[in-house]
């Protein structure tokens, strides 16, 4: 059925955090062979919310599928409404979570999609970082992250 409205694609992002020698650190992956933002640093675990799944459930599933970790204690950061100019396929809602507690040692599980996994200080992030994710990381660094945010409008 065609109703003339755009489709919103939901995704969940998990930012594993820890205290480093110089301040907070975040675990990022270097994307490869995904067809989207390859050779950019990104959240260590992220992906689309599947039919019938909550954003929290998707975050837990992605953490297991991409990092091999379980019992992830999620803290909600922001819901980001995102677009690249209003194309019907590119209306997004991204749910960002941080976690400071989990079971298991984070590792690259999907070796074809991630070239590297590394901890970075929030005040010394690598370049380039996926732009909308960089906006969230900057908000975490400066303490200005809000429950609702936008990107690309």
Exposed e or buried b per residue across 34-53, where buried means at least 16 C-beta atoms within 10 angstroms of its C-beta: eeeeeebbbbbbbbebeeee
- Whether 15 is in a domain gets the answer yes
Write the CATH number for 28. Answer: 3.90.79.10
> Alpha carbon of 91 to those of 35, 37, 46, 84: distances in Å?
18, 17, 17, 8
- Whether 146 is in a domain gets the answer yes
* pLDDT at res. 106: 98
Whole-structure pTM value = 0.93
- Whether 111 is in a domain gets the answer yes
Evaluate if residue 88 carries a pLDDT over 90. no
- Whether 1 is in a domain gets the answer no
- Whether 2 is in a domain gets the answer no
Q: How many residues does the chain have?
A: 153
- Whether 72 is in a domain gets the answer yes
* pLDDT at res. 7: 78
Residue of 89 and 11 predicted with greater confidence: 11
Report residue 84's pLDDT band, with 50, 70 and 90 as the boundaries.
Answer: confident
- Whether 3 is in a domain gets the answer no
Q: How many domains does the chain have?
A: 1
- Whether 33 is in a domain gets the answer yes
> Alpha carbon of 72 to those of 39, 59, 110, 138: distances in Å?
27, 9, 19, 23
pLDDT tens profile 54-81: 999 999 999 999 999 999 999 999 999 9
Instruction: Report percent pLDDT > 70 for the chain.
Output: 92
Range of the domain at 54: 8-151
Pairwise CA distance, residues 107 & 104, whole Å: 9
């Amino acid at each position: 059925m065609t109703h003339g409205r755009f489709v919103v694609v939901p995704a969940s992002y998990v930012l594993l955090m820890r205290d480093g020698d110089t301040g907070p650190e975040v675990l990022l992956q270097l994307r490869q062979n995904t067809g989207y933002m390859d050779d950019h640093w990104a959240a260590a675990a992220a992906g689309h919310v599947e039919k019938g799944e909550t954003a929290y459930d998707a975050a837990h599933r992605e953490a297991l599928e991409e990092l091999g970790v379980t019992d992830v204690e999620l803290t909600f950061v922001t819901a980001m409404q995102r677009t690249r100019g209003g194309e019907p396929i590119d209306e997004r809602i991204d749910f960002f979570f941080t976690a400071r507690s989990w079971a298991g040692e984070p590792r690259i599980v999907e070796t074809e999609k991630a070239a590297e996994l590394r901890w970075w200080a929030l005040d010394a992030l690598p370049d380039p970082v996926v732009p909308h994710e960089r906006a969230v990381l900057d908000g975490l660094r400066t303490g200005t992250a809000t429950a609702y945010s936008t990107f690309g409008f």
